[in-house]
């Protein structure tokens, strides 16, 4: 079956660094997406990885290991506005997104 696993909730301190992990098992693989979703709002795109390695985009970086079925989202210099859910989604061989349930990130001052 197809499955995306990510932690339900994480807590971090303002100004710190946090890594949100995601493991995936999908029928085929056409890339791994990370989306940010604030409470009551729609998801917004953060990153897309299809090749192994680290993609850096400002304070946010995303890493992919295809052989391990593993990705992480790294958030640096955390700000209070980063409090949100972070959704990992794998695109399968039919180009459908298989979504994780999201990791709720709580930032404390």
Partner 1 sequence: DAMVIQNPRYQVTQFGKPVTLSCSQTLNHNVMYWYQQKSSQAPKLLFHYYDKDFNNEADTPDNFQSRRPNTSFCFLDIRSPGLGDAAMYLCATSPQGVPTDTQYFGPGTRLTVL
Would strands 9-13 and 103-108 be described as parallel, antiparallel, or unpaired? parallel
Burial of 97 (0-12, 13-18, 19+ CB in 10 A): middle
| Contact set with partner 1 (CB under 8 A) | 4, 8, 30-31, 33, 40-45, 48, 50, 87, 91, 95-97, 99-102, 104
Q: How far is the CB of 69 from partner 1 (least distance, A)?
A: 17
Tokens of residue 82, six digits:
């980063």
**Between residues 13 and 44, which has the closer beta carbon with respect to partner 1?**
44
The least distance separating partner 1 from the CB of residue 101, rounded to whole angstroms, comes to 5
Reduced to 3 states (helix: H, G, I; strand: E, B; else coil), residue 82 is helix
* Residue 48: CB minimum distance to partner 1, A: 7
Q: Tell me the three state secondary structure of residue 62.
A: strand
Nearer to partner 1, 8 or 67 (CB): 8
């Amino acid at each position: 079956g197809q499955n995306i696993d990510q932690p339900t909730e994480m807590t971090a301190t303002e100004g710190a660094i946090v890594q949100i992990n995601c493991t995936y098992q999908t029928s085929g693989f056409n890339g791994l997406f990370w989306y940010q979703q604030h409470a009551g709002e729609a998801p917004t795109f953060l990153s897309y990885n299809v090749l192994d390695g680290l993609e850096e985009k400002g304070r946010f970086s995303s890493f992919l290991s295809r052989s391990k079925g593993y990705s992480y989202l790294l958030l640096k210099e955390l700000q209070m506005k980063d409090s949100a859910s972070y959704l990992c989604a794998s695109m399968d061989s039919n180009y459908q997104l298989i979504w994780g349930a999201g990791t709720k990130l709580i930032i404390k001052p």
